Chains A and B, each alone.
Chain A
Amino acid sequence: MDIPKDRFYTKTHEWALPEGDTVLVGITDYAQDALGDVVYVELPEVGRKVEKGEAVAVVESVKTASDIYAPVAGEVVEVNAALEKTPELINQDPYGEGWIFRIRPLDIDHLDDLLDAEGYQEALEGEA
């Protein structure tokens, strides 16, 4: 299972990649694989203020609907509109083209609460 070392992770299988004063958010390779074929993504509205851990988006696979939680508190400043037409980008490229939304965090230091790649790997092993 691919777990890039350049970003942070939640126990609920989101990744968070700091870029300047914003954070890009998506779901992990493990999560997309567990969901199966992604067929619909419900994106948040740009400008929405979110709490850490709040359900912000929904990824629907053939099998099930899964909430995507904000890894940090802040404001949604951009969403991946490409997912409206091609939700399968989440399966094909979960860490790249399949990103879901971008948050401007209230405090970038809050990312420190998240797991690093090694910690996420351990969390996955604990789950298995």
Chain B
Amino acid sequence: MKKTPLYEAHLRHGGRLVGFAGYALPVQYASIREEHLSVRRGVGLFDVSHMGEFLVQGPEAQAFLQWATANDAARLKVGRAQYSMLPNAQGGVVDDIYLYRLGEEAYLMVVNAANIAKDLAHLQGLARGFRAELQDVSEATALLALQGPKAAELLQGLTDTDLATKRKNDVWEAQVAGRPARLARTGYTGEDGFELFLAPEDAEPVFETLLEAGATPCGLGARDTLRLEAGFPLYGHELTDATNPLCTPWAWVVKREKDFYGKGALLASPCQEKLVGLVLETGIPREGYPVLSGEERVGRVTSGGFSPLLEKGIALAYVGQEAGEPFFVEIRGRLVRASLSPLPFVPLK
């Protein structure tokens, strides 16, 4: 099992380590619920160093990314970031990514940890013919996520940047706790917050300084409940190699007016399912549980769990295009009434 640069720090702070995408990472420290609420009401700190990072550089870096990604990379200005996807040739998704434009000819792509090798091979194949260099810098990059309504206030005391001048999706270089960092106003919780790209040797001192300043250490458990409440997709669950993104709530990522790899297949494949948000009357839905519309089985839960804010079970589920209420989720043979919910499940900033 691989260790992130924060492995020792997690143990020191009482993190319960589990294996995730080949890394030993904390699932929780004291309580998933408390960690979750600290991010919704204050500020929480996550080690997301397991995520993959690729540098894309060269005179045709933009042209290559415009071809390889579904969103409009040409609209991305220096110092800005965008959510995007890597389409495959069959109309599915290789991965969902975040793309940061660092310079005129330099981009940083953040990919899911479990997909690093797959994405790299896919992108290397597509990069042929472009004057663009693709470099996997995952091992050389530590990544922290400081998230919550009080994230800016906490971070402001530790950085030389005036954070009031920075908008969501900005990316820039700065000092944090006296260490060089690349900062981005991005994250995966639905709250305001920042992601800090650091050299591995700087990760631990910065992590400790942020905790001393009042951030709550948070694990993978809270990361998942937060992203579920925020209605964000998780690769392998809501998005897969076989998912047409046009059939999801994230269809806005796909820019039809530009040309990109796999576009033909993606536009041609019909949507047989739609993704819905469900709030249960009782019980906790889990991945794989059947979803019924009336008495007919129409789909399945792709992500489910307990919402610490709503104090109810919530789920993302794929159901048939025509399926409508009343919905039920089958929990251990018992049918539980579930109502449709807009996404996000909870009001977010």
Q: Do chains A and B stick together as partners?
A: yes
Stretch from B28-36, B76-84, B138-146, B294-302 at the A interface: B28-36
With A63-B27, A63-B221 in contact, do A36 and B286 touch (Cβ < 8 Å)?
A: no
A63 CB contacts on chain B under 8 angstroms: 27-28, 32, 221
Interface membership of B308, Cβ < 8 A: yes
Check A39–B284 contact: CB distance below 8 A: yes
Query: CB-defined interface of B69-106 with A at 8 Å, one 1/0 digit per residue?
Result: 00000000000000000000000000000000000000
Query: CB-defined interface of B284-318 with A at 8 Å, one 1/0 digit per residue?
Result: 10100000000000000000011010010100000
Chain A's interface size range is: 10 to 19
A39 CB contacts on chain B under 8 angstroms: 33, 284, 306, 311
Check B283–A42 contact: CB distance below 8 A: yes
Interface membership of B225, Cβ < 8 A: yes
B221 CB contacts on chain A under 8 angstroms: 36, 62-63
Check B283–A37 contact: CB distance below 8 A: no
Check A62–B286 contact: CB distance below 8 A: no
Check B32–A65 contact: CB distance below 8 A: no
- Complex: how many Å from CA A65 to CA B288? 13
Query: CB-defined interface of A104-126 with B at 8 Å, one 1/0 digit per residue?
Result: 00000000000000000000000
Shortest CB-to-CB span from B219 to chain A, Å, is: 10
Check A62–B283 contact: CB distance below 8 A: no
Shortest CB-to-CB span from A105 to chain B, Å, is: 25
- Complex: how many Å from CA A40 to CA B286? 13
Shortest CB-to-CB span from B315 to chain A, Å, is: 13
- Complex: how many Å from CA A2 to CA B225? 30
Check B332–A62 contact: CB distance below 8 A: no
Name the residue of chain B whose CB is nearest to the CB of A67: B332
Name the residue of chain B whose CB is nearest to the CB of A34: B16
Residue among A37, A42, A58 making CB contact with B32, cutoff 8 Å: A37
Check B308–A42 contact: CB distance below 8 A: no
Name the residue of chain A whose CB is nearest to the CB of B222: A62
Query: CB-defined interface of A42-79 with B at 8 Å, one 1/0 digit per residue?
Result: 10000000000000001011110100000000000000
With A60-B284, A63-B27 in contact, do A40 and B332 touch (Cβ < 8 Å)?
A: no
Check A36–B284 contact: CB distance below 8 A: no
Query: CB-defined interface of B241-271 with A at 8 Å, one 1/0 digit per residue?
Result: 0000000000000000000000000000000
- Complex: how many Å from CA A54 to CA B141? 49
B282 CB contacts on chain A under 8 angstroms: 40
**Which residues, 3 to 33 on A, are CB-close (under 8 Å) to B?**
none
- Complex: how many Å from CA A100 to CA B225? 26
Shortest CB-to-CB span from B46 to chain A, Å, is: 16
- Complex: how many Å from CA A39 to CA B311? 8
Check B28–A36 contact: CB distance below 8 A: yes
Check B284–A37 contact: CB distance below 8 A: no
Check A62–B33 contact: CB distance below 8 A: yes
- Complex: how many Å from CA A36 to CA B18? 14
Name the residue of chain A whose CB is nearest to the CB of B308: A62
Shortest CB-to-CB span from A60 to chain B, Å, is: 4
Interface pairs A-B: 10 shortest CB-CB: A62-B32, A37-B33, A60-B284, A39-B306, A62-B306, A40-B284, A37-B31, A36-B32, A63-B221, A37-B32
13 pairs from A and B in contact (CB 8 Å cutoff): A36-B221, A37-B31, A37-B34, A39-B33, A39-B284, A40-B283, A40-B284, A40-B313, A58-B332, A62-B221, A62-B225, A62-B308, A65-B284
